[in-house]
Amino acid sequence: IPLLRRALVMSKRPLLLFGSPWTAPAWMKSNGDVRGKGTLKGKAGDKYHKTWANYFIKFLDEYAKHNVTFWAVTAQNEPLAGLFTPPQAPTIAFTAAQQRDFIAQDLGPALARSPHRTQLLMLDDQRIHLPHWAKVVLGNATAARYVAGLAVHWYLDAIVPPGCSLEATHKLFPDHFLLYTEACTGFFMF
């Protein structure tokens, strides 16, 4: 928080912060561990999903006490990586349908009821999942009304041309922005 506040004060332009979760607490996950391949217990609309949505609100509440506000949050960082990550990585696995239902029934309504004007981003994973992921989530009118945009990572961009992923998604859902939210170089040994 002190570093964020210093950055906000030093910036010549407003900084837009976004938060992206890696994992829920172990007691909420199907594998009983913050690490490894696990999903949220139960299904959208139940106590686990409602509680996880409330964690987002509590996160925003606590930062707001320190005059730090978030422009956006993502529903989950790399939701499909949860199926493929090394066993020590903290994650929650979501399919597109699971994320759609979590947004429509839990996270979207929780954010809408909160005092925060924080926007909600979906996917937050590789663009190879587009436009399929967008069709599943934004194809649902309830979920779509809570989602402002799509968060995208660039690690596997060489596999799928932008026209097949980004452009196709934008044509289908022009009212939802596309934003690269995570990138680095040097992670592939080759």
Q: In whole angstroms, how far apart are CA 120 and each of 10, 19, 41, 66, 184?
A: 26, 10, 22, 21, 23
C-alpha span between 91 and 77 (Å, rounded): 8
C-alpha span between 57 and 116 (Å, rounded): 8
Question: Would you say 71 and 119 are in contact if contact means Cβ atoms under 8 Å apart?
Answer: yes
C-alpha span between 102 and 45 (Å, rounded): 7
Q: In whole angstroms, how far apart are CA 12 and each of 8, 19, 64, 77?
A: 9, 22, 21, 29
Active-site positions read 78, 182
Q: How far is CA 82 from the centre of its chain?
A: 13
